[in-house]
Amino acid sequence: MVHEMTIRATNTGDLARVDALLAASYPVLLKPDYAPSTLVTCLPLITRAQPELLRSGTYYIAEDDDGPLAAGGWTHGAPQGGVGPRDVGHIRHVVTHPKALRRGLARALLERSFRAARMSGVRWMMCQSTRTAEPFYASMGFQRRGEIEIRLRPGIGFPAVEMIRPL
């Protein structure tokens, strides 16, 4: 049976679906690249959908008849908040279900994000990549700027890689 895949902008009604997608993906896919101590403290914080992203109009979900397969998008604002230059965008909270890997879903979400960002005047796209996803983002034209630590809460940091690409 062939399932038709669609990509659409999310809304707050997608919260449980994106939560489930994050919870199914991140523990499995991040395990080879992060210490158990990092995962046990960080996974409960990063496997939660962000309501402000869901209602942003620039966060998308790829789904078929069986449910959500991938999600991700972009914003002008940086992931930790703040206002930056209007010509800089930020890739946000990209996730693919482990059973849907290597089907071009994350690529399709990023390409849609790039098109929308260009139309909004964005010339540079930033990304805070997991160690796991760094090769994927490199294949999408991002260049590594260096390792960073994302502060999730006081005393809880998540190792990541800052990346950038021109649009």
Q: What domains are there in the chain, each with its CATH number?
A: 6-166 (3.40.630.30)
Q: pLDDT-based confidence at 34, cuts 50/70/90?
A: very high
Among residues 127, 115, 138, which one has the least CA distance to residue 164? 127
For residue 45, what is the enclosing H or E element? helix 36-46
| pLDDT tens per residue across span 52-101 | 999 999 999 999 988 999 999 999 988 877 777 789 999 999 999 999 99
Question: pTM, whole model, 2 decimals?
Answer: 0.93
Strands 6-9 and 124-129: unpaired
pLDDT of residue 3: 67
Cβ atoms of residues 130 and 95 within 8 Å? no
